Amino acid sequence: MKRGAWHLSRRTLLQSAGVSLALPMLEAMVKPGARAAGTAPAPRRFLAVHGQVYGYVGKPDPELGNALVAPWTNPAKGYSVPLENNTYLRPFFNKKIDAKVTVLTGLTDRVLIGTHDSPVKLLANTFPVAMHRGGCVVLTRTPGPDNTVPPIADPFNGATTDQIAAFHLGKSTALPSLSLGIETIGGDGSYTMSNKSSSEPIPPDRDPQSVFNRLVAGFDPHASLAEVQRRARYRKSVLDGVRGDAARLKSKLGKSDGQKLTTYLDSVRSLERLVDEAGSIVPPSFPPAGAASTYAKGDAIQRAMQGLIVQAFVTDRTRVIAFSTQYPNNLLHLRGANQAGLDFTQYRSFNGTPLSNDHHNASHYDQGFNGEAPSAETTAFKKEWVEVYTHWQIEMYAELLAALDGYLDSDGQSTVLDNTLAIYGGDNSDSARHSYLSMPCIIGGRGGATDTGWRIKSGRQLRFADYGAGAGSERSWKDLLWGAVNIVGVPDPDGSPRLKSFGYANNPLDVQLGA
């Protein structure tokens, strides 16, 4: 058979005992003649990243009635303006993915206001509902006399947006979804970012080694566990077991695909080393998700988790992921002696005090360290703390998006990032005020192609609110989530191609995102 007529299934796995390694998209996976005739559209994916833990130092926006907005907001007036290449967004420009990023300003969540450390807010539909607790509004699984009770029945029975997407997208993948985390959520770990239903929270997998094992596991859990333990005991790579299978496959591939396969296998080995670098131990059992990470906090654990997200998406092991990140630690530092002139783009060279104190305390820059009245010195110290953390988290998010943009998708033309809707957000539009106005939001990806373009017209900032016009004139975060499930193609429970309602939402944002 001629090599040009040979076709490789998209579901091909490199296999050995307890290991099934999925492959990225290769040219041989496109059926002969399909490229000329027009290939099937690439799969759409949904990613939620809770990256701005506790919020940031907001800045007043005169056009929005001096409401505090994200510090990366372009001050130019108007509904749709270009992204500003400022110190916050510069990583997207440096990695040449700014054209695939959208900043949203003016999204609020008046249902779940003032919440600290509750990433589920990024994904909640009508559930979990809001409950007042002291000066905050937190999330709870059961309605009560002091709760904000959903005004209508929830056809998804309390599922968070990622799980609504997974119900549709997960039918085509080995893993319907992944729920990932680094820190515990809610201090005591009582909150989960994802909920399958009102009675089924999904605990996040917080150990990168556990996630890696789930992505490369074979179909026999007992064989998989034995293989995991054997690899750890002898410090072997998953590639040792599939090397023969990979060599046989490579002999059938063309030159370009052969190089892609080699590059991919190298990336898998690099990911293994990154996982090992962070200090993992052999998990006591498999395949249950890791309850806690054995990794040192820092760049390593977040980069490992992000590498696993890339691995899961490019091999189509799953199309839905929710990821809650981490607080700063001593990997980050404030400016040191003689560094006052350095701006935040150079934060990795800062050699002053490490950010190893209480991040929650630091986020309240309007208070002293023990709740006493603030001083100018303390306020400046805390603001710089939050600024360093903000710049680091956004840079990490940019690395994640750039990695997704580096892989060709199944249509042979677009990238994995092109067909992804990634929502990066956080708790508040200002860490000290617990403000629910203009929650942080940076969308990555274009949401997939249509007959006329992309579902998301990216490379710009959209400003939705005019707080000077009165309450309610801003757009709801729930409108974004409704638009998100429309973008990834979730049908209505009655079979209609688009959702007809979505909890507290009023008007889905997918139309504005694509206009």
Q: What is the pLDDT of residue 282?
A: 35
Q: What is the pLDDT of residue 28?
A: 87
3-state helix, strand, coil in the chain (%, to 5): 35, 15, 50
Structural contact between residues 339 and 350, judged by C-beta atoms closer than 8 angstroms: yes
136 three-class SS: strand
Q: What is the pLDDT of residue 236?
A: 74
Q: In whole angstroms, how far apart are CA 376 and each of 334, 373, 498?
A: 17, 10, 52
Report the alpha-carbon distance of residue 42 to residue 413 in Å, rounded.
9
Give how far the C-alpha of residue 3 lies from the chain's centroid of Cα atoms, to the nearest Å. 39
Q: Are strands 320-324 and 178-181 parallel, antiparallel or unpaired?
A: parallel
Structural contact between residues 142 and 197, judged by C-beta atoms closer than 8 angstroms: no
User: How are strands ordered across the β-sheet holding 129-133?
Assistant: 136-140, 129-133, 147-148
- What's the 3-state SS for 281-297? CCCCCCCCCCCCCCCCC
Structural contact between residues 89 and 395, judged by C-beta atoms closer than 8 angstroms: no
Q: If the chain, 515 residues long, is cut into consecutive pieces of 10 residues, what is the mean pLDDT of each piece?
A: 61 81 85 57 95 88 82 90 96 98 89 71 73 63 65 82 95 92 69 83 86 78 68 72 89 89 88 72 38 61 92 94 87 91 93 84 87 89 93 96 94 94 90 83 97 95 68 76 96 90 88 93
The fold for domain 45-207+290-514 equals Alkaline Phosphatase, subunit A (3.40.720)
Domain ranges of the chain: 45-207+290-514, 209-288
If 0-12 CB within 10 Å is exposed, 13-18 middle and 19+ buried, where does residue 64 land?
buried
Structural contact between residues 120 and 139, judged by C-beta atoms closer than 8 angstroms: yes
- Residue of 375, 383, 372 whose CA lies nearest to 71: 383
DSSP state of 320: E
Report the alpha-carbon distance of residue 13 to residue 246 in Å, rounded.
9
Structural contact between residues 88 and 75, judged by C-beta atoms closer than 8 angstroms: no
Q: What is the pLDDT of residue 290?
A: 47
User: How are strands ordered across the β-sheet holding 101-105?
Assistant: 80-82, 460-463, 101-105, 441-444, 420-426, 45-52, 320-324, 178-181
Give how far the C-alpha of residue 231 lies from the chain's centroid of Cα atoms, to the nearest Å. 29
